[in-house]
Structure 1
Amino acid sequence: MDRAPGLSIRLKLTLSYAGFLMLAGVLLLAAVWVFLLRYVPERALIVPGSTGTPTEGVFPIRSNLLHVFAPRAAAVSAFLLVLGLVGGWILAGRMLTPLTRITDATRLASTGSLSHRIRLPGRKDEFRELADAFDTMLARLEAHVTEQQRFAGNASHELRTPLAISKALLDVARTDPNHDAGEVIDRLHAVNTRAIDLTESLLLLSRAEQRSFTREHVDLSLIAEEATETLLPLAEQHGVAIETRGDITPTIGSHALLLQLTTNLVQNAIVHNLPEQGIVWVNTSIRPNNVVLAVENTGERLTPQLVSTLTEPFQRGTKRIRTDHAGVGLGLAIVKTITHAHDGTLTLTPRSAGGLRITVELPATDPHSDRKREH
C-alpha cells in the first residue's frame, strides 16, 4: 500500500533526544536562576575602601547578574542543542542497527529468498527477541514452501499417471479394432476410479490444511465404532480380526474429518497386515487434558527410519504395501493434517513384534459444557 513519505524513525528519535536534552538544560538553568534570585539581594551598598567601586553608592545587583547570566545561559542552551542533535543522531543510528538488519531480511524474504537468516548477535533484548522470532518464522516458511513444492510435484506426477494410462488404453482401442472392448472399459474404469480417489483425497487434504470446517462436540469412541463397522467386510476379506475397546472420549472437531481420520487408520492397519490371522486393535482412552485414539496392528517389522516417512504425501512404504490395495499414498498424510488441524499430535511407533502403533491425541472437552452454559 502506497503511503505519503514521512520522517524517518532515526530523525524522530534524534529530535526526541535533542528536545529532551534541551528541556532538561532549560529546567536546570531555570533552577540555577531561581537559586541565585533567592540568595542575591536586589541592590547592594558599596562602602568606600571595599572591593568594587571606590565610591560609596547603591548598585542593582540582580540586573547586573541578569546581563551576565543570560548570554552564558543562551550559549549553554545552544551547546546542548548541538550536542543533542549530533549525539541523538549517533545514538539513534546505533539503536536502530538491528532494525535495519531485520528490514533487509524482510526485503529479501519478500523477493522469495527464505534461506536468509538475521542471526542477530548480542544478549537477549527486545530486538534480539524480534530477530529470533523472525528467523523462526522464516525457517517454518521455508520448510512449508519446500513441502508444498514437493507435494505439488508428487501430486502432478500421481495425477499424470492415470491420465497417461487412459490415453494409452484409448490409443490401443483406436488402433486395434479387434481388441477386447470389455477389457479396455474395465481397465479404464479402474484407472478413472483411482484418479477420482486421488482427486478427492487432495481436496480433503486441502480442506483440512485450511481448517475450513465446523467444530462440534463429538465422541471419538463412537467414531471409532462407526469406522470399524464400516470396514468389517474389508477385514474379513483380508482375514484380519478387529478388536475394539475404550472409554467415552469427548472432544471438539469435525465429525466428518475425524471419521475420515479413523477410517484411514483402521483401513491402513487392515491392508498392511499379516497375510493370515492378522489382528487390528482399536482403543480409545481419556486423560486429564486430552483424548487418545490408538490403532495397532500386526505385520512385518518396520524400521524407525521407514516409519518416520510414512506420513509424508505419496510415501507408501513399499515394503508394507499389498498389491491388491495400494491406495493413493495420502492416507497417513491426511491423518497427520487432520490431527494438526484439530490441535492434536500424531505418533507412529513400530512394534517390536512387527506392525505399527499409531496414536492420535486430541484436546479433551466436557460434553455437557454447552448444557451447563444454558442452565
Structure 2
Amino acid sequence: MPGKATRALLATSVGHVLPTVSRTAMGLGLAVSTWSQLVDVTDPRGGAGLDRLFQRLARELTAAELDAVRVVTDPPVDGAALTARLLTAPSLAVELARRGVTAEVGVLVEAEFWSAYQPIVSLADRSVVAHEALLRGVVDGREIGADDLFFVAESAGWLPRLDRIGRESAISGAAPWIGDDDLFINFDPTSIYRPQVCLASTEQVAHASGLAPEQFVFEVVESHVIADRGHLVSVLEHYRSLGWRVALDDVGAGYSSLSLLAAIRPEVVKLDKGLVQGLPDDGARTVLKAVTDLAHQLGAVVVAEGVETEQLAEEVTALGADLGQGWLFGRPVRPAQPVERPESGFQPVAVSRSR
C-alpha cells in the first residue's frame, strides 16, 4: 500500500463528476482548487484526509465514474513531468484498489448480480398481484444470497453501490415479464445521501423499463430506519414525487412500530415474518391485529409475510391482512421467460395506489 500523500490531482472530462469531488473534499476540510477538468486537493493534516476522501468517493461515485477519473498523488512541480504523470495516471478505481479500499469486496467486484422474485397474492382469491425482488450474486458458479452480499458491502463501505445495483437489477429484471403487477424493491435509507443525485440512475432505469410509476413499491425494513427520521422522510417524499409508493417492512418486530407507521404513513405495511409464524399465539395475534388495524386506519394495504401453511393463511386473513407472501404461494425464482399469468376476475383494488 502506498505511503501517505498530502496532495492529489483528479482529472476527468466527465463534467458532473468534478463538482462532486470538490464538494466531498471541502466537506472533509481539505484545501481545494479547481480548473477546467481538474481538481487540486491538498491535505494540510498529513494525508489522513486524502484517505478519507478516496474512501468517500468510492461510495459516492459509480464504477463508470471511478474509471473516468485519473488521479496523481503528490504531483511533481515541473510542468513537463506533471504532464507526463497525468498522461499515464491510473484511474481512481485503480488508485482505490492500490489503497486497499476494494480489498474487502473482491466477491462483489467479481459477482454477477441478478434478482429473484417472490409472488405476493391477494388473500381473497390467491391471485398474484405483485412480486418482491431479492438480490442474488453468482461467483465461480456459486450463488450468494442477499444477506451475505449486504454484510460484505456494509463492512467494506460499498453499501450505497450494492443498494443501487439491487434497485436497478430489480427493475430491469422484471420489466420483460411483470405486466401490470406491482414490483416491491428493497432499499436501505443509509445508502442514499442526496435523493436527487443518488436515485438519478434508478429513475433512468425505471423510466426505460416502460413500467408505470405506480407499479413501484420501495420498501424499507423497520430495523434499517435510521435515527434521522427527517432524512428518511425526505427520501420517501422524493419517491412519492416520482409516483412511486412506500412500504414499511417487518412491522411489529420493534417497539417503535406504531409510532413509525404514524410518522411515515406508508402505502403498504408488511407484517413481521416472525410474528406471523408465531400464530396462533395470543401475544402474536394481539400485536398483529393492532398493527393491521392502525395500518388500515392510515389507508395502507397490509401484507402478511412468512405464510407457509394454509392455517397461517387463514389466521392472517381473519386478522384483516389484504395480501400474503410466503412459500405457500411461491418461493423466490429467477424468471427464465415471461411468467404465465393466472386466469382470474380479480380487480387489484387491494393494492391501493392512491391515498
Q: Verify same fold: TM over 0.5.
A: no
Normalising by structure 2, we get a TM-score of: 0.25
Counting strand residues as a fraction of each chain, which structure ranks higher?
2
Q: Which of 1 and 2 has greater Rg?
A: 1
Between 1 and 2, higher relative CO (CA 8 Å, sep ≥ 6) is seen in 2
